A and B are shown apart, each in its own frame.
Chain A
Amino acid sequence: MVLSPLGMAAPSMKERQACWGARDEYWKCLDENTEDASQCKKLRSSFESSCPQQWIKYFDKRRDYLKFKEKFEAGEFQPPKTAAKS
């Protein structure tokens, strides 16, 4: 999909839906492959070509947040043990 130059025009409803669809496919692939992005390269590139760059950054962060939230709510979250010398 060719997005408008300079990102000046906002995606239309159709473009938004295409972007969300590609995102959901990619996220599903990550779910099925225990977050191994190397298994989802094709879907990643489809996701990247369907959404504005800014949105990709946003959705990547959002996925991290949603994953963290899931873990946290399930009580599985362990604060990372840093090997720092204190």
Chain B
Amino acid sequence: MLLLAQAPKAWHRLFQLKPPALPRTPGGEAQHVRYRLLSRQGPAEMGRQDQPQGPGLRTRLLITALIGAGLGGVWLAMRAEKEQRQQRRRTEALRQAAVGQGDFSLLDHRGQARCKADFRGKWVLMYFGFTHCPDICPEELEKLVQVVRQLEAEPALPPVQPIFITVDPERDDVAAMARYVQDFHPRLLGLTGSAEQVAQVSRSYRVYYSAGPKDEDQDYIVDHSIAIYLLSPDGLFTDYYGRARSAEQVADSVRRHMAAFRSVLH
């Protein structure tokens, strides 16, 4: 920083090194320069007529090259420092997001309280739906647990926690969730809560849901956004997968994220 501030002064000084005679003897000096450049001879061999006009071309070139190299070095160092600073700032923002963003307070299907921090250190695949869902939720959950089974079969990979969060807290209590998740995967965790808690977690993952009209059986369908979310071991939202993605495509993407993952938490 300091060096750069001094740079204009340095340039100024450099120009002062140039012979003031240059404008006064048009042609003469220029000819010498041309001659010297062509003959590649130093000022010593050129005789003594240049001497009062200041340092020779070699010296001037050398000084220019040194200052140029110095400035280049400063620029590189500053760029590296800026990149480091940006990286630090990004890491700090991610760290704050990791702790705060998308936090939730829900009950699992065994009745145990769960928040996002409980899953720190684990990759999480998460899906929002409801147990009375006619076709899409069971299909998507089936896909999600297929991904988990594929990844489980590779012992080198870190474990993945499958989670199902209800958007129908009115009907999906702890018991309903327990009945529902057992059909899919032994480790699938069902999460439910009060209407407010469900609204809060859905909001933080940008999940839309809206219960339709009730029929004479008090039954209804909940319209909701469909996506499987991937959270990193830092608890950060990392990717999401729509209906069009196959289990293989999702598993490939998760493997890539696992390979590229570097924790921002210590």
B184 → A minimal CB distance (Å): 8
CB neighbours of B220 from chain A (8 A)? 54
Bound complex: CA A29 to CA B176 (Å): 35
CA distance A25 to B138 in the complex (A): 20
Secondary structure type dominating chain B contacts: loop
**Which of chain A's residues have a CB closer than 8 A to the CB of B176?**
9-10
* Given contact pairs A55-B134, A58-B134, A7 touches B183 in the complex (Cβ within 8 A): no
Asked if B221 and A58 sit within 8 Å, CB to CB, the answer is yes
Inter-chain CA distance A12–B131, complex, in Å, is 9
Count chain A residues whose beta carbon lies closer than 8 angstroms to a beta carbon of B. Answer: 19
Contact, CB under 8 Å: A54 / B171: no
Decide if B118 is an interface residue (CB 8 Å cutoff). no
Knowing A12-B179, A12-B183 are in contact, say whether A6-B218 is a contact too (CB < 8 A).
yes
Docked complex: A28-69 residues within 8 A CB-CB of B: 51-55, 57-59, 62
Contacts of B183 in A (CB 8 A): 12-13
Q: Are B179 and A7 in contact (CB under 8 A)?
A: no
Q: In the bound complex, do residue A53 and residue B179 qualify as a contact, i.e. CB atoms below 8 Å apart? A: no
Q: Which residues of B contact A12 (CB under 8 A)?
A: 179, 183
B135 in contact with A20 (CB, 8 Å)? yes
- Shortest Cβ gap from B95 to chain A (Å): 39
Is A1 an interface residue, CB under 8 A from the partner?
no
Take A8-B171, A10-B180 as given contacts and tell me if A53 and B219 are in contact as well, using a CB distance cutoff of 8 Å. yes
Choice from A6, A11, A13, A51 contacting B217 with Cβ under 8 Å: A6
Chain B residue numbers with a CB within 8 Å of A16 are 138
Considering only CB atoms, which chain B residue lies closest to A5 in the complex? B217
Shortest C-beta distance, A58 to chain B (Å), equals 5
**What is the predominant secondary structure among interface residues of chain A facing chain B?**
helix
CB distance from A72 to the nearest CB of B (A): 18
> Would B217 and A7 count as touching, CB distance under 8 A?
yes
Q: Is B132 an interface residue (CB 8 A)?
A: yes
Bound-state Cα–Cα, A55 to B137, Å: 13
Given contacts A6-B217, A52-B217, A52-B219, contact A59 B180 (CB under 8 A): no
Nearest neighbor of B138 in chain A, beta-carbon distance = A16
Q: Say whether, besides A7-B132, A8-B171, A20-B135, A54 and B179 are in contact (CB < 8 Å).
A: no
- A8–B179 touching, CB < 8 Å: no
Is A9 within 8 A of B218, CB to CB?
Answer: no
- Cβ of A58: which chain B residues have Cβ within 8 Å of it? 134, 221
Distance in Å from the Cβ of B173 to the closest Cβ of chain A? 10
Within the assembled complex, what's the spacing in Å between the Cα atoms of A59 and B133? 11
Q: Which of A7, A13, A59 contacts B134 (CB 8 A)?
A: A59
Q: Which residues of A contact B133 (CB under 8 A)?
A: 10
24 pairs from A and B in contact (CB 8 Å cutoff): A7-B217, A7-B218, A7-B219, A8-B218, A9-B176, A9-B179, A10-B131, A10-B132, A10-B133, A10-B172, A10-B179, A10-B180, A11-B132, A12-B183, A13-B183, A52-B132, A53-B215, A53-B219, A54-B132, A54-B217, A58-B221, A59-B134, A59-B135, A62-B135
Besides the contacts A10-B131, A55-B134, what 16 more A-B pairs have beta carbons closer than 8 Å?
A7-B132, A7-B218, A7-B219, A8-B171, A9-B179, A10-B133, A10-B171, A10-B172, A10-B179, A12-B179, A13-B183, A52-B132, A52-B219, A54-B221, A58-B134, A59-B134
